[in-house]
Amino acid sequence: MGSKSIRKPVVIIMMILGVLLAAGACFVLFYNAQKASAVTLPAETKINNDIMYEIKKAERDTLKTSGKFGLTQTGAGPEYYTIEGWAGVYGEDIRVFNTSVLLRNESDASYMKLKTEYVEDGREPDVENGGVSFKRGNFVAKVKDTKLQEGTDYRICIWYQNDGHNEVVETDKILKRA
């Protein structure tokens, strides 16, 4: 058997390429975490409060890249608003998670859709639901503060599209960029 030696420059180039690929992947995760886009609700979307929900957290955080969303709370990094909660329909199990957090601009009634993720934290909301668990309704959304206009009120809304529903819940919670 012949032995081929690997030259040092090839190893160094491969290592540099690996580091660049990893840095690019981190950038993509960070960029996607900031994703917030204007959205127009389809005409068939119901706007009501028949969906059971709770907003557990709606506050400003300082975050740094890594972890879920590519973000973890560390106290060093850009300013974000974090919105956590759950939503569900009484007596229904959520088979397909398709919930989004919307911010409704109270000045012009436009909606901004935030990147929203299902959170499997094992905690179950303390709510009677006809024997069905609401824990698969847990969600978290984040938005960079620069995506919000200063001095404008944004109503937190939940766009619940799970298992055949298409409803928006306009909560009583308001975000305002200071």
CATH number where 69 lies: 2.60.40
**Pair of tokens at residue 56:** 């557990």
Would 88 be classed as within a structural domain? yes
> Which amino acid, residue 91?
G
Would 90 be classed as within a structural domain? yes
pTM of the predicted protein model: 0.68
How many domains, in total, are found in the chain? 1
**Pair of tokens at residue 90:** 């009484």
Would 8 be classed as within a structural domain? no
Residue 149 has pLDDT above 70, yes or no: yes
Would 149 be classed as within a structural domain? yes
Q: Cα dihedral sign for 69, 74, 77, 80?
A: positive
What's the average model confidence in pLDDT over 50-71? Answer: 70
Would 96 be classed as within a structural domain? yes
DSSP-assigned beta bridge partners for residue 76:
none
DSSP-assigned beta bridge partners for residue 65:
71
Would 152 be classed as within a structural domain? yes
Q: What angle do CA 159, 64, 70 make, to 5 degrees?
A: 50
Domain housing 167: 36-176
> Which amino acid, residue 29?
L
Residue 106 is predicted with a pLDDT of 93
